[in-house]
Structure 1
Amino acid sequence: MATGWAGDGAVQDQIDATVEDAVKRARSRLQRGPSLTYCEECEAAIPEARRKAVPGVRLCVSCQEAHDREQSVQSGYNRRGSKDSQLR
């Protein structure tokens, strides 16, 4: 029965669910398969050390940084919401 009040532990449940969703989303974006020797965007050589450190890498460092900046601008998290808005 909905009473309008959150139950005990509701805030922590919300936090846990948010963290789990973020981890799943991050894991789904991890590259798989063999690394490329040349960047798929600018065709610059990808150093062997980067290919070994990041399995499945497809972009050079500069293109990856640009891609990450673009992704952070598009993220839709409301990190400034009040506690009340998180319980609804």
Structure 2
Amino acid sequence: MKILAVCGFGVGSSMVLKMTLEKAVKELGIDAEVKNTDIASAKAEQADVYFTSAELKPDLESSTDKPVYAIKRYMDKDEVLKAMNAFLANKKGN
């Protein structure tokens, strides 16, 4: 599974989100590659799921048919786990 953490420039906040996603993935026992990137690169890169800010979510959703989840607090593992569990539940339903 490939997971992308996306922010405007692909440096600061996406790196923080990537680290939190890695903790969540490890806790859930998921085999996944987690990368951080900027919005322009994310539009050109295929992933199974994207995590970003509420501000960037609509822009990212317009360029992919894969799920995009908005995260408010990038360091909040519980919020990220909740979004990851929602993605996994939806994935099983398809």
TM-score for the superposition, normalised by structure 2: 0.28
Q: Which has the higher strand share?
A: 2
User: Which structure has more RCO (C-alpha within 8 Å, separation ≥ 6)?
Assistant: 2
